Amino acid sequence: MSLAARVPDGECGVGHCARRTGRRSYSPFVPTNRRPRVTIDQVAQATGVSRQTVSRAINNKSEIDPETRQRVLDAARAMGYRPSRFARGLVRQDLITLGLVIADVLNPFFPEVTAGVLEAAERRGWQVVVYNTGSEHRKELEVVDLLFDQVDAGVAFLLHHDAIAKAAAGNLPFVLLDKGGRAPAVPGVRIDFEGGARRGLEYLIGKGHRRIAMLDDEMALSGEAPNARRELYLRVMGERGIPVDVGWIQPAHNSIDGGAAAMERLLSAHRDVTAVFAYNDVIAIGAQLRARALGLRVPEDCAFLGFDGLSIGELVEPPLTTLHIDKRRLGEIAVEQAALLLAGAGETEIPEAVIEPQLLIRASA
């Protein structure tokens, strides 16, 4: 298997924990009238030429009559045909190219997901092309266009509703990583954030904590994206009769520095909090480091709970208690679903796949 890594910083880059502008609603999207993928053989049959002639026309080869080339291109466009090989090379007809779209190559969540995709693809003899969006709206849309032109199937983490809709409406087999409730009819893997958040919060409450703060991703807190974790935080606290001070919920940039800054703001106004539930491990680690730098003992003065189960959580002192997501399995399942689609299964025939976060108790809580 070969890996062609694409992390462009110009026009065709793409990514996860996006810094986006503008508020966007996330109503569930249900694709309709999805057409079966048009093949090169169908274009050849429709135009009365050989598949080699279609290939020459698509690849702008000189050994073809200009009038024939234009007739083939017009037919291919009208039929919705898109070359399925990377860089429009049709040399290896037996080689499947999978496009993997991730949100942020610097986010430590994605290397393990990528490893799962690569391992599952290698077992099938596929090659993988990796695209990084930087979580930007424009780049997500650009990458979806690239997938149509360059790969046979796509596995993607997309944040924006219109990018998901665009991908789902095409004739490319397409699977969502972390589909959530945004596109129930699109194949993909769902992470049970609600179940995980409940397990974690019940654990903190069971340890006697009542003043539990939440450091939330600033993008999710702005309302630009669905946020099951914050909703569960408020729900569980309410079910337990624990009032939540609005100041306990602090926005954090999705980084270690962002977690540290959010923790400092929290402590400046609410030094009495005894536990922190963070949107993810990266934010939790930054918060824990800043708390210790400010003289708090962990977990005696303040306990910390992360989300994701990143391996770097083992390296902080004390090691971070977290809700572990099997990220490798997430990638593997997505490839399995893409294989079913390539074999001819319809979207509704793909069984729902759910990853259940598991509470991993370490020393921070």
SS3 193: helix
Assess whether pLDDT exceeds 70 at residue 96: yes
pLDDT tens-place string over residues 227-268? 778 888 999 999 999 999 999 999 999 899 999 999 999 999
Report the alpha-carbon distance of residue 171 to residue 347 in Å, rounded: 12
Assess whether pLDDT exceeds 70 at residue 325: yes
Per-residue buried b or exposed e for 1-16, using 16+ beta carbons within 10 Å of the residue's own CB: eeeeebeeeeeebbbb
State the pLDDT at residue 7.
39
Phi-psi domain of 125 (left: phi exceeds 0; alpha: psi -120 through 50; beta: other): left
| Token pair for 352 | 């729902």
Range in 33-37, 237-241, 279-283 the model is least confident about: 33-37
Query: Within 10 Å of residue 50's Cβ, how many Cβ atoms?
Result: 11
Terminal-residue alpha carbon distance, the chain: 42
State the pLDDT at residue 185.
77
Within the chain, where are the H helices? 40-47, 51-58, 66-79, 110-124, 137-150, 161-169, 193-206, 218-221, 228-239, 256-269, 281-293, 327-342
Share of the chain above pLDDT 90, in %: 57
Q: Identify whether the C-beta of residue 99 lies closer than 8 Å to the C-beta of residue 154.
A: yes
